[in-house]
Amino acid sequence: MTTTTQPEKVVVKKNFDQVAWTWMRYSAFLLIPLAWGHIILQDVVVGVHNITTDYAINRMANMGWKIYDIALLGFAFAHGMNGVRQVFRDYIHKPETFRLVSIILLVVWFLITLVGAIALLAIQPVVS
């Protein structure tokens, strides 16, 4: 007589790398259409030779475009910083040092994204 046993469920505690990997996938889901939308609009629909100061002023007068640009900045820069973090992983072997570098990169990402968001939101063009 043989008995079958149910496999024991293993609970894995999430660490920073797992959370970063998950959020990179979520943000890529939004980043791809944001980036392609930007390229298609600026390069195909409007055309790079037709982007004038008036076009930029009209675009920056719209809060929707500001939010679009902030999202594009935040997601794209996050992907870049995570890539840099992965390159550092190849060269930094002490876990404490790598954790410190990861925290520094996270703070740099946050500050640059915040400065970019403030700059975009502070623009109040006068549309004539």
CATH classification of the domain holding 112: 1.20.1300
- Over 90: is that where the pLDDT of 110 sits? yes
Position 4 scores a pLDDT of 72
Position 27 scores a pLDDT of 86
28 falls within a domain? yes
Position 16 scores a pLDDT of 80
Q: b or e along 51-61 (b: 16 or more beta carbons within 10 Å of the residue's beta carbon)? A: eeeeeeeebbe
Q: Is residue 71 within 8 Å of 35, Cβ to Cβ?
A: no
Q: Which domain holds residue 114?
A: 16-122
Position 1 scores a pLDDT of 59
99 falls within a domain? yes
Report the mean per-residue pLDDT for the chain: 90
114 falls within a domain? yes
Regarding pTM above 0.75, the answer is: yes
- Over 70: is that where the pLDDT of 80 sits? yes
Q: How many domains, in total, are found in the chain?
A: 1
Distance, in Å, from the CA atom of 23 to the CA atom of 44, rounded to the nearest integer, reads: 30
1 falls within a domain? no
Q: Which of 70, 58, 1 is nearest to 34 (CA)?
A: 70
6 falls within a domain? no
Mean pLDDT of the 30-55 span: 92
Distance, in Å, from the CA atom of 76 to the CA atom of 113, rounded to the nearest integer, reads: 10
